Structure 1
Amino acid sequence: MFRSTGSFAASIMGFALMLALAGPAAAQTIEGRFCGRLASGAEIVHAVTELRTTADGRLSGSYTFDDGGTASSGTLSELEAGEGRTRRLVWRDRYGSGTLVITFDQSLQSFRGLWGPGRSEPNARWDGRLCGTGT
């Protein structure tokens, strides 16, 4: 009996070590080209948001949106590595900078978000779905 208990304990410890080395199961990286829409002035316009997870776990990327028939672009950066599906980023483009808060679905294939200029509370739509995965 003692011998099998020892084997069981060793198995449990080995499994725990394997989990610790593998990291959390939910630590999927967020990466891709997301097609969607954002609020620009009084309009909802087409936008493409490209995101990647940096080596230190922060989100970084760029975006392009329809700006009255021409394309405007900007950058996105997460100042501190976020956790989970809701992330807070800083956007920057020719109009200024501000905050974008996005929440991804469970599969990390789409997000819904709100953005705002400067230090104002985000309240304007910004969403996206991995390009090529439906509407």
Structure 2
Amino acid sequence: MGEAYQIRDQEMPYFLTFQVVGWADVFSRKVYRDFILENLTYSRKEKGLYLYGYVIMSNHIHLVVQQKEGKLSEWVRDFKKFTSKKLLKLILENPQESRREWLQMIFEYYAKFNKRSVDLQFWTHEIEHVFKHHLLK
């Protein structure tokens, strides 16, 4: 992650965008949106996440979040790692997913160019937009 996109003040609210590699149209399917919502609910209840707002677009997610214990970077890392593994499994093992082969090709393609990825990559490794919002003064 480049210096311009680092979360510097771990205790403040931030606007974050998580982007699917290749702008793949994943969240047009309800099952994948619901999975993200379940994980945001879990994060609120169990991980100290304050969720001020969110939008789930077809290929990216916008969040305005804060982490109660000042560990926002850790939450981002854990959220992206967990959701990427589970979403890849949901997509690639879903016999009713008509775009399975096409999506797998995209996930494999982007993984080849990233040394942190093994065989498949779901999220871009950057947080596309990180803006600190001083919502609480």
TM-score norm. by structure 1 comes to 0.27
Larger gyration radius, structure 1 or structure 2: 1
More strand by share: 1
Structure with the greater relative contact order (CA < 8 A, sep ≥ 6): 1 or 2? 2
TM-score norm. by structure 2 comes to 0.26
